[in-house]
Amino acid sequence: MPAKAIHTCIRVLDEGRSVAFYEAAFGLTVADKLDFPDFALIYMSNPLSEFELELTINKGTTEPYDLGNGYGHFAVSVEDLDAEHARMDAAGLAPGKIVDFAPAGTRVAKFFFITDPDGYKIEVIQRGGRFK
């Protein structure tokens, strides 16, 4: 039986700072918040997809999370990569350089990375081909 992907979770230190970043960078808004004594779960989404980003806030945590040395990241596709890069740059979100990835001469992807307030990498990919 096939599975349906519904969300990915990241742990964040500051709810307000993280919500503001994902709203400004990707147009995500809070779809739901579940508040518990020791932690809170904030689900963010936008009308383009049912997939959600779950922000987990562990109450009382004051030190940044150790993200390890793995190369994990969250990816989103956009209609106009150059325009999104310029918009994020103008908003002070410090997007990385645009990469036109074509190792064998044929473009595989055009993308850039941006880093959220907790150090998580988000890949922003030009929509097209396998990246819908």
CA 13, 16, 19, 24 dihedral sign is negative
The neighbour count for residue 77, using CB atoms within 10 Å, is 19
Q: Are strands 29-35 and 39-46 parallel, antiparallel or unpaired?
A: antiparallel
The amino acid sitting at 112 is F
Q: Is 123 a catalytic residue?
A: yes
Q: Of the residues 15, 50, 79, 123, which is catalytic? A: 123
- The owner of tokens 């994902």 is 22
CB 131 within 8 A of CB 77: yes
The catalytic site residues sit at 123
